[in-house]
Amino acid sequence: MLKKTVITSAVVSALLLSSSGIAAAAGDKSGAQTPAASRLVMSSDSYGEIIGQFNSPDGAVVGATLPGKSVSFSIPVKKHHGQYLHFAFMHAASASEGWFFAPASEQGINLTGLMTEDGKPVDITEQIALFRAPAADQLVKVTADSGKLRLGAAAKFMTAKLTRHNGMFVISIKNISEGDYETPFSSGVWGVTGTAVRSFDHEPSSALSKLATTGHRGELYKLAQKKIPEQNNALSMELTRGAIKMAEEQMAGHKKIGSISGTAPTQGELEKKFAMAAAQMGPDITLSPASVITTMPLVTLISTNN
């Protein structure tokens, strides 16, 4: 018991969290908590913060998750969209070594591929790994012990489960670290991309290094707020261009569209054809048929054979 107290006290001083975290702590004092072991945090549907239940009396540490405690966050399920989870939070005992937890794959954890029946949990612990970012231009996977710090599989530190409930993905992480592996977790940041791409949790940055070395999540959260929408917008544009191209090719020369052949298609038939083209592009398309069709040049829609 003494050992646990000493370890926790030593690493707690490293968890100097962001002003946004302090604001969250103020919210904690209002008593607005779920019955679960930690607050269930949901921000945007594509990015947010991971905030545990431990706040130090002096306010220096906010939103940490101590050994034996749990933290959860939720993400809306998008049945017809790809969803790849990215996140990062600090292995607090590592201090300036800059160890942090993130998905083992730089492309994130494929939530859509793990979709289950409501209430049936899926263990995703093995899809999490330790990385280190001691400086803004450094990011590598941890491959060996460092002094008293012990490298281990994620299962040495946590259990992580994914549950689908009432249209939400709930990710629950329990800190089970003990002995040589004992460490608090800092608060963190999560984001969801529509396709398998590298994001803020696997790209070197001063924001990620700050989280990894101090537990300060504020800068990384701002980066996620900027990067995640940019990545998802780029994906939507790419898919839209592809769907428009397919629709244009199939409409060229008044090929058969729906039930009409050789005459100009109606708006309804165009929308139906676009929907079919978008479906062929994959589940990530986000724009409605009508909104994209109205962006196509009128001459394209009424062109005829020469």
Per-residue pLDDT at 140 exceeds 90: yes
Report the C-alpha gap between 281 and 100 in whole angstroms: 36
pLDDT of residue 96: 95
Residue with more model confidence, 40 or 146: 146
| Cβ pair 301, 251 in contact under 8 A | yes
Residue with more model confidence, 80 or 299: 80
The 10s digit of each residue's pLDDT in 203-239 is 999 999 999 999 999 999 999 999 999 888 876 676 6
Least-confidence region, from 99-103, 160-164, 171-175, 256-260: 256-260
Q: Which two tokens stand for residue 282?
A: 């994959």
Domain ranges of the chain: 2-230, 233-301
pLDDT of residue 144: 97
Residues in a beta bridge with 86 = 191
Residues in a beta bridge with 161 = 123, 172
* Residue 191: band (very low, low, confident or very high) from pLDDT cuts 50, 70, 90: very high
Least-confidence region, from 14-18, 71-75, 135-139, 149-153: 14-18
* Residue 303: band (very low, low, confident or very high) from pLDDT cuts 50, 70, 90: very low
pLDDT of residue 294: 41
CA atoms lying within 13 Å on the CB side of residue 218: 13
The 10s digit of each residue's pLDDT in 58-104 is 887 889 999 999 999 999 998 777 899 999 999 999 999 999 999 99
Cβ contacts of residue 290 below 8 Å, gap of 6+?
Answer: 271
Residues above pLDDT 70, as percent of the chain: 63
Report the C-alpha gap between 164 and 171 in whole angstroms: 9
Residues above pLDDT 90, as percent of the chain: 52
Q: Which two tokens stand for residue 142?
A: 């941890």
pLDDT of residue 234: 75
> Helix 218-251 vs helix 267-281: angle between axes, to the nearest 10 degrees?
120
Q: Which two tokens stand for residue 140?
A: 């590598």
Per-residue pLDDT at 260 exceeds 80: no
